[in-house]
A and B are shown apart, each in its own frame.
Chain A
């Protein structure tokens, strides 16, 4: 007989009463608090997939890249979908539109906002994290750390966020101050209508 944890109190009582009345007739079991299912995750298990980068930049990989290297990466691997001018490409067949990466500053408080890395994204670390996990669209996860740092630098320079001479790496990337860093507020819902 299966008893849910919330009913454990009842189960214990029931078991006691049953034992008194007819010893040995019913055996009531409760759920253990520990199960030994699964195996310890090894450091190799974890490292093979531990790719998330938070704004503090912890866990960013070794490597470096700058605007010039990034321009080459962009032109060969990104431009087809995101456009030669980084303004995006709409109407791609059976895939999402290539998002605009730059522009849009000053449009957020309008009814036709333009949301880009430059105008909207609060953290540069997100750029590295997302490119590494999901881009390029047709060959996701194929860029090296150097290429990702470089193409991030290219996008941030084109968006007038960092200087063209800046080299991005695990130390410098988290220090990039994005224009819309303070543009986000907590969820105030439920809203009080009327």
Chain B
């Protein structure tokens, strides 16, 4: 799919064949300690393209001959990350014929793998550096790689030593308790695959098609497998006092981000999460522990969780009054405590800024999700919403998770508008932009249109180019 966009491959640095060949020609030659030191010094130079390729190859040789330890070059290994590899990758030389020489030895990655140096997908950050968007256009299946999970920070990413971090539960409880990460991990745990979405996602698209790609329209949604302890277990340890109805969750970031959460949610499916996709939470996802409220707007799942205060009333924090409230511009009244992320879907291929190379078969594919449960069906239209066809849902369809849908399509070369419409197990279907504007009022500037889940349209021109559009009517 990336190749079809025509925008990624051209950015790849070309491999300097000469350097690689030079390295290859030396394979098997004995290496002296002096030579090793000379190459170590080479790595300190202002490197030209290809030099790192050589250095890495020589490092392999040192490893093979036991010289790495002898000259202390293992310390040089992380420097390979400074090479021109994309984020999350390490630049290695490309072999002329990988069947004719040994591949690199395992262990050069220090025991933690990286992606191919030819893969370039990254999160896209907005100008204020408060949000980053997941590259949905080249997503596969339903799980978002942890390094590509969308981000929303209210005061940057704190760097927290887990040995010093504590979670305190207090307020209207019989027994205030303080937990370390180690304490938390001793409880019975659960793993669940859930999507998380920012309540602001696509809000900027309500009045007109504005952003060019699906990453920038819908990229504030991601799915991970989350592991943690049910919050109900922890509240039971502390014992709720009569009259308890809300829980304030608070983070250890510089915003000391705080939201009031209804107690009912805390006692049903809320988790205190410490792992994501099989390993510890990433720092940007709340390391060492975060709240997770399945199906609710992402900002409520407080990251870097340090405190839970049980209360009889909500606190009306800044993030639940000034922000994350939904102003209805026809009345001037604002909806408050709008938690649920409703059913939504988007076609990820083909999508904005791609170009179909010609007429013929394409598998339209995308993602659908609902904060109220499972996706019941996804319909796809290829004629701007006149006719709708059922898409195939990829098993397993999980509750409050993203579901991949697919639809076979023969493009005849005429302009087309493709759309998807999700319906969840409660029977709720995605509305149109016009229906949302009719219900909540038009909004051109000055506030965020939260919970915008309208049907997304991609227009395909006769030349195959794909554009974000709002269909007429």
Contacts and interface: CB of A to CB of B under 8 A. Distances in A.
A38 B178 contact: yes
A40 B333 contact: no
Q: How large is the interface on B (under 10, 10 to 19, 20 to 34, 35 or more residues)?
A: 35 or more
B184 to A, nearest CB: 8
B168 A115 contact: no
A40 B306 CA distance: 15
A121 B447 contact: no
A53 B315 contact: yes
A41 B338 contact: no
Contact of A187 (B176, B317, B322, B339): B339
A121 B322 CA distance: 6
Interface residues of A, number: 60
Contacts of A117: 322
A153 to B, nearest CB: 18
A94 B186 CA distance: 40
A77 B328 CA distance: 34
B333 A191 contact: no
Contacts of A115: 322, 327, 446-447
A21 interface: no
A33 B169 contact: no
Contacts of B441: 111
B321 interface: yes
A134 B250 CA distance: 12
A32 B184 CA distance: 16
A113 B309 contact: no
B321 A187 contact: no
Given A49-B307, A134-B155, A134-B254, A35 B336 contact: no
Interface in B139-175: 154-155, 166, 168-170, 175
A22 interface: no
Interface in A93-124: 94-97, 107-115, 117, 120-123
Interface of B: 127-130, 154-155, 166, 168-170, 175-180, 183-184, 186-188, 233, 236-237, 248, 250, 254-256, 258, 306-307, 309, 311, 313-318, 321-322, 325-340, 342, 426, 428-429, 431, 435, 439, 441-447, 451
14 contacts: A35-B233, A38-B183, A46-B176, A108-B334, A109-B329, A110-B329, A111-B441, A111-B442, A140-B255, A184-B336, A187-B339, A189-B342, A193-B429, A193-B431
The 7 closest A-B pairs by CB, nearest first: A109-B332, A133-B256, A108-B332, A41-B176, A130-B318, A38-B179, A184-B336
